[in-house]
Amino acid sequence: MTHLRRVVLPLRILLAIVFAALLVAQIWAVPGLLPDLAEPTLERQLMRWTMLAVSVLGLVCVQAVIVCTWTLLTLVTQDRIFSASALPWVNAIVWAIAAGWTMLFGTLVCAYYFIIDEVSDDPVLPALLLLLLLVGAVLGLLMVIMRALLRQATTLRADMEAVI
């Protein structure tokens, strides 16, 4: 268990740094990256505010995964990870990934029909969004499998404790 604690502390430090960086991105970077409106029509303002909301909510999904991972690390250090108290945190990770993936898919559809098709023929943005969708789908499915494994391990541990 002491070896595990030596790994958990650096992971927590990195999680805290990533969480803080995402918070800074939500406050300063994301609003600054969105294009300024040369012609502030209602449609363009709506598009800008929608892009801002989706970006911030996507970062919130990542922050939710970080908070859930932090809590799961606490359960690991307390040797309670294979208990029913871990399942809601893993479920929250799955739901946060699903919500982020859904918003990313909506962004791809909107970006293709409203931005890429009209403004540019550059394939980089759709390719990047497709790559992010693929990575998000892999992470989401991996977490579903990890949740199933955690359920099995929790059941096995409860059975072993009942035998002992």
pTM of the model: 0.84
DSSP-derived letter for residue 85 is G
Q: Which of 37-46, 64-73, 125-134 has the highest mean pLDDT?
A: 64-73
How do residues 45-89 score in pLDDT, each as one tens digit? 777 788 888 888 999 999 999 999 999 999 999 989 999 999 999
Question: What pLDDT does residue 125 have?
Answer: 74
Domain residue spans in the chain?
2-163
Q: How far apart are CA 94 and CA 3, in angstroms?
A: 28
Question: What pLDDT does residue 127 have?
Answer: 83
Hey, how many other C-beta atoms are within 10 angstroms of the C-beta on 44? 13
DSSP-derived letter for residue 38 is S
Question: What pLDDT does residue 150 have?
Answer: 94
